[in-house]
């Protein structure tokens, strides 16, 4: 009996260590994935703010320039006269570029580039045409923001796999317990 008691004690200690290690491992993964989701949410919020700044500044400046007949006539004078707004739009534009993946966010980057070129006097400089360009930026931005929000909601890949892996293990253990209890 003492040998059996010794083996049972060692087995219980080993099992407790495995359970504690598993809990620590899962906790580390889940806390890291939680932090990643927080960073992704912050990224989404910053992207939304920069898109709003860029579109807002561009809409106001370009519409004002078209309305006053300054944008097409003397672009340099117009840009000089509205230096702060142009700088704000350019800074937002470049922050957006640095946040986006050139492959994954190709549509948004393309529409942003077309809108940014308005400042160089390129493209059709009518109020309707500018509104269409900016609506395309907003629409493409909404697609990116929605995709990223879904990713945050679902959780990062490691979290997703850990969550469902733990569920499978728990269901397997429950099924095994039911089988043992029923005598099979």
Rounded CA gap, 172 and 176, in Å?
6
For 149-160, the pLDDT digits (tens) are 888 777 766 666
For 92-107, the pLDDT digits (tens) are 999 999 999 999 999 9
List average pLDDT for each run of 10 residues in the chain, which is 184 residues long: 68 71 74 80 93 92 66 70 88 96 95 90 80 95 92 72 72 71 68
Residue ranges of alpha helices (H) inside 69-126 are 70-73, 75-81, 83-99, 106-116
Structure confidence at residue 29 (pLDDT): 72
Q: What is the pTM of this model?
A: 0.69
């Amino acid at each position: 009996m003492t040998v059996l008691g010794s083996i049972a004690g060692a087995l219980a200690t080993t099992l407790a260590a495995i359970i504690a290690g598993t809990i620590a491992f899962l906790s580390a993964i889940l806390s890291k994935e939680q932090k990643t989701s927080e960073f992704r949410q912050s990224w989404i919020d910053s992207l939304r703010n920069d898109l709003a700044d860029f579109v807002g500044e561009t809409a106001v400046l370009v519409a004002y320039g078209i309305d006053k007949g300054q944008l097409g006539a003397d672009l340099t004078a117009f840009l000089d006269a509205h230096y702060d707004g142009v700088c704000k739009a350019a800074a937002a534009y470049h922050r957006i570029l640095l946040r986006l993946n050139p492959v994954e966010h190709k549509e948004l980057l393309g529409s942003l580039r077309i809108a940014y070129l308005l400042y160089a006097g390129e493209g059709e400089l009518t109020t309707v045409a500018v509104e269409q360009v900016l609506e395309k930026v907003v629409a493409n931005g909404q697609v990116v923001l929605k995709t990223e929000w879904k990713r945050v909601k679902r959780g990062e890949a490691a979290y997703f796999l850990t969550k469902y892996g733990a569920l499978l293990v728990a269901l397997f253990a429950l099924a095994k317990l039911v089988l043992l209890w029923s005598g099979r």
